[in-house]
Amino acid sequence: MAINPNTYFAPALTDLQSELTAKIGSMKSILALPNIKKPNIPKDQQISAMDYLLKVFSALGIDPQVIFNAFLSSIFDEATAKLEEFVIKGIADSFGQKGIQISPYINAPLTANSAQIQIFKDNNFKYLKELIPETFLQTVKQKIAKDLMIMIFGPKDGPVAEALNPNAAEREYLISNAVCGIGMFAISNDPQLRDSDIEYTRIKKRQELENGQVIYEISCQDVKITLPENPTIFFQGGGVNTAGQTLPLTPYQSIVQVNQYVVNQSQKINNEKNSNKVGKSFLQILVEALINSISTLVQPYLPSVFTTIQDAVTAENNFPAGSVSFPTIDFVASMCEINNLSSSNDTDTEKKRKKEFVRSLLNSLLKDLIKLLLVYLIKRFKKFVKDYFAKKATERQKRKAEKARLKYEKVLSKVKDTQDKVEKYQAAISVLTDFLGAI
């Protein structure tokens, strides 16, 4: 009998056969896969700790503004000595990196290895905390806040500039170091720029600072900020947000006033298409600017500290007067000086020594900020996890209740069915009884 060519037969596998062939295919896939290795991302390509924490904040729906405010408050608080402690640590590390231990005095710049240098740093910090008054910056924090405004907004000359700092040479120094610091120390993952791009950015930023019209990208929109004609309202009170206030503002209150002023400026030009976008707030920009500028801001107040150290070493070791000299410029380099080092022929050791004060001070502030972010984040994350498991437990109880209800309804349905059958049987028996009785 010939095979019918129009008949098609699709063979089917049993459940057991299907399961076996599926497992074999899965095992072959695993054997064929290469060994999975965790990517070893270079450190300079990894996301910064700051950006990662902010991403976690965003994922949890938490606004980090409260932490930025707490950080600024702790740095500019005239009743605390956190900033002074960080500066003292920077000085101690700078001495140690040069192979100098202050007490007992050891000067071994050529023979000290990395382990000895770290010991020198630790010993120097303990000694300087006892030697230097912890409030040596207490009375100048308001001036530091004003100088920070020049480094952020400018201008170089004019009534606004003179209201913030009447010394033209100091204003030039502040603006120059603000420009030199661009692209040097970063706490966020900014786009990778070529040297030529950085130089262009510096030229453009210098023009903006000198003119006092600075453009910042705030919440994904470019905002041109110009300080008011009388910026003293931020520091002496009497502004829009301080109506009727007669007492001078604290440094932190002044920073808050400046931030509110920029927020108001940003809202005036708010672009509707950017309303749902997330970007850096000005408060975050201000915090980053403070960390990058702090070494320049405190530098004018350090010569007296180094003179105190010099006198202490001379007295403790009975050295002849003038035989030991610790000029500030030997231990604290400006941003522009560090910037020039990158293209010089100085050795790596010399570069480390020049950068040590700035590196130590910036890292201290950054660690403090990250610590504040972490503590707050852990607290909120614990609450988030607690609420999550509580909701999961509630949902689980709801599912159990629903299952019990369905089971109870099923039982009732069976009972009802049984009752209906009994009633039918009774009706049938009644009919049958009547029938039998009639016979």
pLDDT, position 287: 93
Q: Which residue has the higher pLDDT, 384 or 169?
A: 169
Q: What type of residue sits at position 349?
A: T
C-alpha distance from residue 72 to each of 233, 294, 365 (Å): 19, 12, 10
Q: How many CB atoms lie within 10 A of CB 289?
A: 19
Contact 83/107 with Cβ under 8 angstroms?
no
Q: How far is residue 190's CA from residue 10's CA, in Å, rounded to a whole number?
A: 60
Contact 224/213 with Cβ under 8 angstroms?
yes
Phi (first) and psi of residue 101, to 5 degrees: -105, 130
Q: Where are the domains of the chain?
A: 46-387
- How would residue 7 be classed by pLDDT, with cut points 50, 70 and 90? very low
Average pLDDT, the chain: 82
Which residues are 217's β-sheet partners? 222
pLDDT, position 293: 94
pLDDT in tens, 284-310: 999 999 999 999 999 999 999 999 999
pLDDT, position 432: 57
- How would residue 163 be classed by pLDDT, with cut points 50, 70 and 90? very high
DSSP strand pairing (221-225 vs 100-101): unpaired
Whole-model pTM: value is 0.79
Phi (first) and psi of residue 408, to 5 degrees: -65, -40
Residue of 332, 335, 339 lying closest to 354 (CA atoms): 332
Q: How far is residue 19's CA from residue 396's CA, in Å, rounded to a whole number?
A: 32
- Find where tokens 């063979």 sit: 11
pLDDT in tens, 374-426: 999 999 888 888 888 888 888 888 888 878 777 776 766 766 666 666 666 66
∠ CA 119-122-124, rounded to 5°: 105
Structure tokens at 130: 């006892």
pLDDT, position 424: 66
